[in-house]
Amino acid sequence: MAIFFLKNSEIDLNAWDKCIAGSFNSSICAFSWFLDLICEDWGALVEDDYESVMPLIVQRFWGKEIIGLPYFAYDLGIFSNHPITPYKTRAFIEAVPPNFSYYRIMLNKYNPLECKDRTTILHKRFELDLILPYFKLTAGYTPDLSRRLNITMANGYYFSPGLSPNEMISLIDKNRIPVPRIIKKLNYRLLRTVMVGLIQHNSGELYGLFDQHNEISSVALIAWMNNRINLVFQATAPDKIKDFPDLFLIDRIIDKYSETNTTLLFDSGFIMNYPVLFQEFGARETTSIEVFQNKLTFPRNLLIHYRIFNTCLSSSQYSSS
C-alpha cells in the first residue's frame, strides 16, 4: 500500500470521481465538483491507483499552508470500495506531508481510528432513518416537540419547496441572522456557490416555511446522494423563533421523505440561532472523529488556536490521548 499526496492540479479527476462513486461510504461532499465549490486549492492523499482517497482542504494562514475544515462538508475522511481498517486510517494520517504543521482532518464514521499518540476531537452527529411511514416516525417525537409543532400549525405556517438562493440570502440579510464570517464574506459568495452547485448537479434543494402573511420564516438547504439526505444549512428569522418554524420545517422534510430507504443526517453546527435538539425527532446520536495537530511556530500557533480552534469547539467534546 502506497499513499501519495497530490495537489489539485495533479489529481486525475475522472479516476477520483469514479473512486468516490464506487465507495461503500460515498458522500456528495467528496466529489471533485463539490470540493471545487468549497475550496479553491484542495489536495488529496491517494492510495495506489485511486483505490482509496482522502480529500484535504488546503488553506493559507499568515502565509503558511494548513489543512482546515471546510464549511458545508464536514463528512469527508477516507473513501474506498474496500472496508477501512484502523491500520489504513492511521496510514493515511501519517501520510500527511510534514510541511502541514497545522491540520484539522475530519474522518467519517466508517474510518476507525486507533491513534493514541494523536489529539482527537469528537463531534456529535445525529441520524434518523426515514423508512417508516410518517405517522410512525412522529410516534418517536417527544411530547414537547409535538406541542411546539402544534403551535406552528395553529399559526398558519406552510411548507414550500424549490426556493431560490436569493430567497435564503434575503432572509439572512434582512433579519441580520448571525452566520460565520466565512459565509457572510463577499456577499455570501460561498453559500451562494454551494446552493447553486447542488441545484445544478441535481443533488440538492432549498425548502422554506412561510407564515400566514406569506413571509419566509425559515429556510433549509439539503443535499442528497443514494440513500442519504444531509441537512446542509438552516436559518430562521429571530422574531419567528417563538413559533418554532425551524422545527416544523424539519418535520416537513421528514414527512416528504418518509417511507423511503433514506437516512436524514443532521449536524448541530448547521442550525443558526436556535439550539435544535435532534433527539426530540427520534434521531440517534453518533460521533465523528477529528484528528488535530498544531505545530505552528509562535505567534501563529496561538493566533490560530484562539481564532479558529476554540470557536469550533462550542458543540464538541475534546479529548487527548
Going residue by residue through the chain, which has 321 residues, state the pLDDT in tens, using 9 for 90 and above.
Answer: 899 999 999 999 999 999 999 999 999 999 999 999 999 889 999 999 999 999 999 998 888 899 998 888 877 999 999 999 999 999 999 999 999 999 999 999 999 998 778 899 888 889 999 999 999 999 999 999 999 999 999 999 999 999 999 999 999 999 998 887 778 877 789 999 999 999 999 999 999 999 999 999 999 999 998 899 999 899 999 999 999 999 999 999 999 999 999 999 986 555 544 446 788 999 998 888 999 999 998 888 888 866 554 444 332 322 333
CA distance 185 to 192: 11
Q: Are 94 and 189 part of one and the same domain?
A: no
Has residue 134 been placed in a domain?
Answer: no
* Residue 159 in grid coordinates: 411548507
For the chain, the straight-line distance linking the first and the last C-alpha, in angstroms and rounded, comes to 27
Q: Are 152 and 90 part of one and the same domain?
A: no
Q: Is 37 exposed, middle or buried (0-12, 13-18, 19+ CB in 10 A)?
A: buried
Has residue 132 been placed in a domain?
Answer: no
Q: Which pLDDT score, from 0 to 100, does residue 155 have?
A: 97
3-class DSSP string for 55-72: EEEEEEECCEEEEECCCC
CATH number of domain containing 298: 3.40.630
CA distance 216 to 173: 13
Residue 254: how many other CB atoms lie within 10 Å? 20
Look up the domain containing 238 and give its range. 141-281
Has residue 81 been placed in a domain?
Answer: yes
Has residue 221 been placed in a domain?
Answer: yes
CB under 8 Å to 244, separation ≥6 — which residues? 148, 149, 151, 152
CA distance 291 to 116: 11
Q: Are 101 and 151 part of one and the same domain?
A: no
Q: Are 15 and 114 part of one and the same domain?
A: yes
Q: Are 295 and 270 part of one and the same domain?
A: no
CA distance 48 to 69: 25
Percent of the chain that is helix, strand, coil (3-state, to 5): 35, 30, 35
- Amino acid at site 309: F
Q: Which pLDDT score, from 0 to 100, does residue 13 have?
A: 97
Has residue 235 been placed in a domain?
Answer: yes
Q: Are 159 and 105 part of one and the same domain?
A: no
CATH number of domain containing 203: 3.40.630.30
Residue 233's SS3 state is: strand
Q: Which pLDDT score, from 0 to 100, does residue 99 have?
A: 94
Element (H, E) at 174: helix 165-174
Number of domains in the chain: 2
Q: Are 94 and 198 part of one and the same domain?
A: no
Cα radius of gyration (the chain): 20
Q: Hey, which bits of 84-152 come out as E strands?
A: 102-106, 119-129
